[in-house]
Amino acid sequence: MVRAAVLPAVGAPLEIAEIDLPDPGPGQVRVRLAAAGVCHSDLSLSDGTMRVPVPAVLGHEGAGTVVAVGEGVTHLAPGTDVVLNWAPSCGGCHACSLGEVWLCANALNGAADVYARRASDGTDLHPGLNVAAFAEETVVSANCVLPAPDGVPLTDAALLGCAVLTGYGAVHHSARVRQGETVAVYGVGGVGLAALQAARIAGASKIVAVDVSPAKEELARGAGATDYVVASDTTAREIRALTGKQGVDVAVECVGRAAAIRTAWDSTRRGGRTTVVGIGGKDQQVTFNALELFHWGRTLAGCVYGNCDPARDLPVLAQHVRAGRLDLGALVTERIGLEGIPAAFENMLAGKGGRALVVF
């Protein structure tokens, strides 16, 4: 029996409960979590903006140590430190055949599985986004773990699995920021902070952080922001003023709201790139007129999981960490226990803080 944060139903509060995990079956591993980040997607799953089968154990950004392996797992052994990958690629679908593994059509098939039971009454539990990281231990497909990089503390490595891959990938793979370009990042949460650091690594000449909260300026500047704009009706104008009236070469939207996407677009220079990382709801309608689409010549791109191949990108991120270019600890504004997750959700809704990290 292990403790877990269970989502009993969409819209219901999380409950801390004991769960029974089975022994790992063929192709599976059991992992003892060291840490798990609280991501905005967990909140989106709990409130129904995104859907997975429930009751579920949420949490998809984690790292820990393999404690048992199932039949047929030969490349991992008890004692191996691993980072969880919530979007394993199947290798066989159209996207995978093109190398676009972040768009794998089968990545979330595991979410429908029953992976554990509630200890009190035997209720079937689903693993959220595959990996059920809001628990002391989890049982996952061996495809859902990657070796943890050497020289990165395991608790920090948890963040690599979602926030850092997503924010870094948005800048490096989707927007392809080049040295000397100007960048604006909308939303200073875990992903936004990673995007700011990625823009610094890319050698951006000006990095503007935008957030509704004035309280995040120090956090943003610590991650590489050279300028800070508190979001308002005049944000796009302020950003154009900071960039010789042009607008930024690249705007990265990490909020998932129509107004922020529209402002990110408006603050992008003619011919520039606007990358949407934030996951918005279906009610968030963004409108453009036909003339402006032509006139501004901008590229508007969605970006899933940072367009990352975790197996390829984790070692690169680890190199940046070891060289001191990427500061994982700087993303974390709060270390909590499982019982602190509901309050972390409240903080996210209120736009407070960076990443909350559950430390086991």
Positions touching Zn ion (CB under 5 A) are: 39, 41, 89-90, 93, 96, 104, 162
Place of tokens 């993303």: 331
Residue among 45 and 239 whose Cβ is closer to Zn ion:
45
Taking the complex as a whole, the smallest distance from the CB of residue 159 to Zn ion amounts, in Å, to: 10
- Is the peptide bond preceding residue 88 cis, with omega within 30 degrees of 0? no
* Closer residue to Zn ion (CB): 96 or 145: 96
| CA dist., res. 68 & res. 24, Å (int) | 7
Q: Cβ of residue 37: shortest distance to Zn ion, in angstroms?
A: 7
Q: How far apart are CA 148 and CA 43, in angstroms?
A: 26
**Least CB distance from residue 86 to Zn ion, whole Å?**
7
Question: Measured from the CB atom, is 100 or 327 closer to Zn ion?
Answer: 100
* 69 vs 348 by CB, closer to Zn ion: 348
Distance CA 30, CA 17 (A): 19
Per-residue DSSP letters for 41-54?
HHHHHHHTSS---S
| Smallest distance, Zn ion to C-beta of residue 231, A | 22
Residue 21 or residue 304: which is nearer to Zn ion going by CB? 304
Is 237 or 257 the residue whose CB approaches Zn ion more closely?
A: 257
Of the candidates 41, 233, 72, 218, which has an alpha carbon nearest to the alpha carbon of residue 142?
72
Query: To which residue do tokens 């963004």 refer?
Result: 286
* Nearest distance from C-beta of residue 90 to Zn ion, angstroms: 4
- Please give the Cα distance from 150 to 348 (Å, whole number): 31
Least separation in angstroms between residue 329's CB and Zn ion is 18
Which tokens in the block code for residue 227? 């300028």
Report in angstroms how near the CB of residue 100 gets to Zn ion at its nearest: 9
Handedness of CA 228, 230, 231, 234 (dihedral sign): negative
Q: Decide: helix, strand or coil at residue 109.
A: helix
| C-alpha angle 210-215-216 in degrees, rounded to nearest 5 | 50
Q: By C-beta, is 248 or 331 nearer to Zn ion? A: 331
